[in-house]
Amino acid sequence: MPAAFLRRAWLALLAALCASALWVPAHAAGEATVDDDTANCIAVMQTNADDLARQIKAGDRTQEPALQTELKRAGALMARSYLDGLHDGPEAKARLKAAQERQAAWDAEHKNRIHQACLKRADAELAAASGLERYAVERFVQSRFRRMVEPH
């Protein structure tokens, strides 16, 4: 493949990943959906990543690999969502906000159960990802990591 095509493809995917955090659709008769599960994953992973970033900023650089891994897994779920058709940034942000609001009512045990299930799902996405998809996720991780740990 020409380098220009690959560069455009990963830039488009990366832009979409950065613009859309993820979403939660309206519930149909209260039933959970795959999209709902994905939004819950992103919300809980974001909370975990924020905690890790705070620790790193406080001087605990041993948490850097854990933050990078968390971002990579979240990026894999976001990439899958984008490839499955979510291209609307404002809608994605609204859905993520709804997931975060739901998460606020969860106890620590429930958050941990959700997080563990999400890690397995994200690892499966990474294992199934193409080389271009993994490259885009890595670029997302590098960019997001820098923004999270750099002093403001």
The per-residue pLDDT for range 79-118, each reduced to its tens digit, is: 877 766 655 677 777 778 888 999 999 999 999 999 999 9
What is the reported pLDDT for 26?
31
Q: What is the mean pLDDT of the chain?
A: 79
3: in domain: no
The domain of 75 spans 33-149
Q: Is a pLDDT exceeding 70 seen at residue 15?
A: no
Name the domain count of the chain.
1
pLDDT tens digits, one per residue of 49-71: 999 999 999 999 999 999 999 99
**Is 58 in a helix, a strand, or coil?**
coil
In SS3 terms, 92-139 reads as: HHHHHHHHHHHHCCCCHHHHHHHHHHHHHHHHHHHHHCCHHHHHHHHH
Determine the pLDDT at residue 20.
39
Would you state the pLDDT for residue 61? 95
Give the DSSP letter of residue 63.
G
CA dist 58 and 121 (Å) reads 30
Q: Which residues contact 68 (CB under 8 A, 6 or more apart)?
A: 141, 145
Question: Are 147 and 25 within 8 A, CB to CB?
Answer: no
More confidently predicted of 40 and 90: 40
The better pLDDT of the pair 27, 99 is held by: 99
Report which of residues 21 and 90 the model is more confident about: 90
Q: Considering only CA atoms, which of 49, 18, 15, 55 is closest in space to residue 118? A: 49
Q: What is the pLDDT of residue 37?
A: 76
* Tokens describing residue 90: 């404002």
Whether 24 is in a domain gets the answer no
